[in-house]
Amino acid sequence: MVKKEKVTIKMVADEAGVSKSTVSRVISDYPDISDDTKKKVREVMKKLNYHPSAIARSLANRISKNVGLVLPSDEDFFLNPFFQESLRAIAITASSRGYDTMLVYNDKDETTAINRLVSANKVDGMILMRAIVNDKSIQYLKENKVPFVLIGNSLENKDIYSVDTDNFKACQELTRILVENGCKKIGFIGGDKNSVVTLDRLKGYMSVVKEKNLYNDKTMIQENEFTKLNGYRSIEKILSDNEDIDGMIVTDALIFRGVVDYLTEVNYGKDIILGTFGAEHQLGYDDRFKVFNVDVQCMKMGQASCNKLIDMLDGQKVNKMDIIDYKIM
Partner DNA sequence: CTGAAAGCGCTTACAG
Q: Give, as ranges, the residues between 19 and 38 that touch DNA (CB under 7 A).
A: 19-25, 27-28, 31-34, 36-37
Residue 67: how many CB atoms within 10 A of its CB? 27
Residue with Cβ nearer a copy of itself (29 or 35): 29
Query: Under the rule (CB under 8 A), what is the footprint of a copy of itself?
Result: 4, 51-56, 58-59, 64, 66, 69, 71, 73, 75, 78-79, 81, 83-85, 87-88, 91-92, 95, 100-105, 113, 115-117, 119-122, 144-145, 228, 257, 261, 264-265, 281, 284, 286-287
Rounded CA gap, 71 and 58, in Å? 25
Query: Binding of DNA at residue 122 (CB under 7 A)?
Result: no
286 binds, among DNA, a copy of itself, none (CB under 5 to 8 A by kind): a copy of itself
The CB-of-180 to DNA minimum distance in angstroms stands at: 58
Residue 31: how many CB atoms within 10 A of its CB? 5
Residue with Cβ nearer DNA (19 or 216): 19
Q: Give, as ranges, the residues between 43 and 102 that touch DNA (CB under 7 A).
A: 50-53, 56-57, 59-61
Task: Tell me the site size for DNA, rule CB under 7 A.
Answer: 31
Query: Cβ(68)–Cβ(114) under 8 Å?
Result: yes
Query: Cβ(190)–Cβ(248) under 8 Å?
Result: no
32 binds, among a copy of itself, DNA, none (CB under 5 to 8 A by kind): DNA
The CB-of-32 to a copy of itself minimum distance in angstroms stands at: 26
Query: Cβ(208)–Cβ(172) under 8 Å?
Result: yes
Query: Binding of DNA at residue 264 (CB under 7 A)?
Result: no
Rounded CA gap, 199 and 16, in Å? 62
β-strand pairing of 247-250 with 321-324 = unpaired
* Angle at alpha carbon of residue 61, lines to 56 and 64, rounded to 5°: 70
27 binds, among DNA, a copy of itself, none (CB under 5 to 8 A by kind): DNA
What phi and psi, each to the nearest 5 degrees, are found at residue 167? -65, -35
Q: Give, as ranges, the residues between 194 and 253 that touch DNA (CB under 7 A).
A: none
The CB-of-291 to DNA minimum distance in angstroms stands at: 53
The CB-of-193 to a copy of itself minimum distance in angstroms stands at: 22
Residue with Cβ nearer a copy of itself (37 or 73): 73
Query: Cβ(23)–Cβ(15) under 8 Å?
Result: no
β-strand pairing of 290-295 with 327-328 = antiparallel
Rounded CA gap, 260 and 248, in Å? 11
Query: Binding of DNA at residue 10 (CB under 7 A)?
Result: yes
Residue with Cβ nearer DNA (119 or 181): 119
The DSSP string of 207-218 is: HHHHHTT----G
Candidates 186, 250, 241, 181; CA nearest to 213 is: 186
| Binding stretches for DNA (CB under 7 A) | 6-10, 17-25, 27-28, 31-34, 36-37, 50-53, 56-57, 59-61
